[in-house]
Amino acid sequence: MKKIIALILAAMMLMASCAALADVPEGYPEIIEGLDFGGATIYIYDWWSNDDEAHSTRSSEPDEETALMYAYRDWLEETYNCKIVETALSDWAGNPAELANMVMNGDNSKLCLVAVAADFAGTPLANDLYMPWQIDLSGEKWNKATNDFMTKDGKVYGVHVGKTEPRSCMFFNKRVLTEAGIDPESIYDAQADGTWTWDMMLDIMEKVQRDLDNDGIYDIYGMTGSGDDLATALMFSNNAAFFDYNDQGKLVITANSQAALDALQMRKTMWENYAAPQPEGSNWDWFKDFWKQGTTAFYAGQTWQGFNPNSEMADMEDEWGAVMCPKGPNAETYLAMACDNVYGIPNVYDDETSLKIQQIYDLYTNDTPGVDSEDAWIGEKYNYTDDRAVDETYAMMREPEHSVANKTYLLGSTNDVLGSALLWGPIGSMTPAEAVESATPVWQDMLDVFNGDKTQEQVDAEHAAAEAAAAEAAAAEEVTEAAGN
């Protein structure tokens, strides 16, 4: 009898399994057996969304693709007995603090993921605020540069779905180039055949830069834009970096490598010889309006400035294009920094709960079944720039082979880490090697804290002790000089 009952139960389980599989619509992912949230809500916290548990933000008359997305998400929620809500936790700068508070208080009252901007991701990584991901992240949907960026001791602690958002680029003014006898399309052609190099850009700027009225002052300049963006772009374009991990897994300074120093030297060469000078008394972003005057060939910036309706490119009278930063001699292909938002699981759950959150997030972030989303990233970009910038430059920058994790952001923002230490003074008045050497003590303190070799309190105490010793020595020297007089 027991054997018969066991066979009946096995048959019932098989039938239930077959029925569940039969309920899976065509193109939908296989059901994960045992994944059930018991009606709980999973929050995907960013800093821009405005959803709620009632899905009140849904369109009452969605188009076909949106309707398919609604249907897929409804199926997920019904199948796994949950509600999935995308909503803002705080603002751009507030999410990291909210994450830290959540972990410090052990608050696991809600199931959630918390997103932070790349330049805030170092603190969660260094202080174990995120849990390691357990699911397979080798698939194409997972951003490889972010996986690299958020890897510590061989484990990935933060993810980004989708290809890299295009960032550092060189905009160019087509009229200015044409008037100097240079076909603007030749720059795109060079990028396409692999010959768009530092030397080519220098040659173009040399031809473009001219004193039209013979008054001793240039009327047309080779470039303008952000010197900081230029330095970062050149660094990665030469297959170099300011910081990277060593063989022991420690984040270390790599700005002192020859490839990095060459990149910093090229920044000096371009900026000192071809960049328009900043007008006296002007704001730091003076170059945004200067570019619109149409007196420069290139603009060192980031691609969002070319497809943002409020950017300096939006009301540009002249036609313009955009290419990747030209290739340095140490690089085999075009390379640019990756700077994508990071999503992680707060370190407040057990491993089983964390795995469940990862699994539902994986399912939720799949492409909508039945929808071709290959070109969804383009959006309205064609409205702001020429086709080749979108089809060739932006498209290429999205691909993994052209994207490099910018590990500077593990220590902080570009301004905080590279600004006064390197880019806002030293690089202009020193050789690259001298500038990097002068910045090394500041960077080493940051690295010691990130690597866990020292606490921030220890670093602060050491600085205080050094300042006190210096003051004491200065006072003693004054006494000695006074006695000598």
What does the pLDDT look like over 355-371, one tens digit per residue? 999 999 999 999 999 99
The domain tally of the chain equals 3
Tell me, what's the pLDDT at 53?
52
Of residues 428 and 16, which shows the higher confidence score? 428
Average pLDDT, the chain: 91
If one counts every other C-beta atom within 10 angstroms of the C-beta of residue 116, the result is: 29
**Tokens 């006064």 identify what position?**
420
In a domain? residue 73: yes
Q: How does residue 9 score in pLDDT terms, banded at 50, 70 and 90?
A: very low
- How many helices and strands (H and E) does the chain possess? 18, 14
Of residues 306 and 201, which shows the higher confidence score? 201
N-to-C CA span, the chain: 113
In a domain? residue 265: yes
DSSP state of 415: I
Residues 352 and 333 in one domain: no
pLDDT tops 90 at residue 443: yes
The whole-angstrom separation of Cα 482 and Cα 485 is 5
Of residues 472 and 349, which shows the higher confidence score? 349
- pLDDT over 70 for what percent of the chain? 94
Contact 294, 317 (CB under 8 A): yes
Tell me, what's the pLDDT at 55?
55
Tell me, what's the pLDDT at 132?
98
475 CB-contact burial (10 Å; exposed 0-12 / middle 13-18 / buried 19+): exposed
Residues 91 and 214 in one domain: no
**Tokens at 257, concatenated:** 């490598």
Residue 69, classed as helix, strand or coil, is: helix
Residue 420, classed as helix, strand or coil, is: helix
- pLDDT over 90 for what percent of the chain? 80
Q: pLDDT digits over 367-424, tens only?
A: 999 998 888 888 888 888 899 999 999 999 999 999 999 999 999 999 999 999 999 9
Tell me, what's the pLDDT at 15?
38
Supply φ then ψ for residue 384, to 5 degrees.
-115, -20
Hey, which residues does 44 pair with through a beta bridge?
86, 113
- Cα distances from 123 to residues 410, 450, 455, in angstroms, run 7, 8, 12
Q: Beta 221-225 vs 296-302: how paired, if at all?
A: parallel
Residues 217 and 124 in one domain: no
The whole-angstrom separation of Cα 143 and Cα 342 is 10
What is the helix (H) or strand (E) element at residue 373, kind and residue range? none
Tell me, what's the pLDDT at 415?
94
In a domain? residue 375: no
Residue 164, classed as helix, strand or coil, is: coil
pLDDT tops 70 at residue 218: yes
Residues 352 and 419 in one domain: no
Residues 208 and 62 in one domain: no
What is the helix (H) or strand (E) element at residue 316, kind and residue range? none
Tell me, what's the pLDDT at 16?
40
Tell me, what's the pLDDT at 470?
83
Residues 416 and 467 in one domain: no
341 CB-contact burial (10 Å; exposed 0-12 / middle 13-18 / buried 19+): buried
**CA triplet 119, 120, 126: central angle to 5 degrees?**
115
Per the rule left: phi > 0, alpha: psi between -120 and 50, beta: everything else, 331 is: beta
pLDDT tops 60 at residue 10: no
Tell me, what's the pLDDT at 322?
97
Q: pLDDT digits over 35-46, tens only?
A: 999 999 999 999
Q: pLDDT digits over 83-129, tens only?
A: 999 999 999 999 999 999 999 999 999 999 999 999 999 999 999 99
Residues 298 and 438 in one domain: yes
In a domain? residue 422: yes
pLDDT tops 70 at residue 22: no
Contact 217, 156 (CB under 8 A): no
Residue 157 sits in a domain of what CATH number?
3.40.190.10
In a domain? residue 16: no
**Tokens at 51, concatenated:** 């959803």
The residue range of the domain holding 479 is 456-485
pLDDT tops 90 at residue 260: yes
Q: pLDDT digits over 197-216, tens only?
A: 999 999 999 999 999 999 98
**Tokens at 237, concatenated:** 């374009």
Residues 406 and 469 in one domain: no
Residues 362 and 442 in one domain: no
Q: pLDDT digits over 454-481, tens only?
A: 999 999 998 888 888 888 888 888 887 7
The whole-angstrom separation of Cα 90 and Cα 215 is 55
Q: pLDDT digits over 137-180, tens only?
A: 999 999 999 999 999 999 999 999 999 999 999 999 999 999 99
In a domain? residue 9: no
Tell me, what's the pLDDT at 472?
83
Q: In what order do the strands lie in the sheet with 320-323?
A: 221-225, 296-302, 168-173, 320-323
Residues 236 and 385 in one domain: yes
In a domain? residue 373: no
Residues 65 and 36 in one domain: yes
Residue 318, classed as helix, strand or coil, is: coil
- Across 80-98, b (16+ Cβ under 10 Å) vs e yields bebbbbbbbbeeeeebbeb
Nearest to 175 by CA among 274, 276, 289, 295: 295
In a domain? residue 36: yes
Of residues 12 and 446, which shows the higher confidence score? 446
Residues 322 and 397 in one domain: yes
Of residues 22 and 155, which shows the higher confidence score? 155
Q: How does residue 13 score in pLDDT terms, banded at 50, 70 and 90?
A: very low
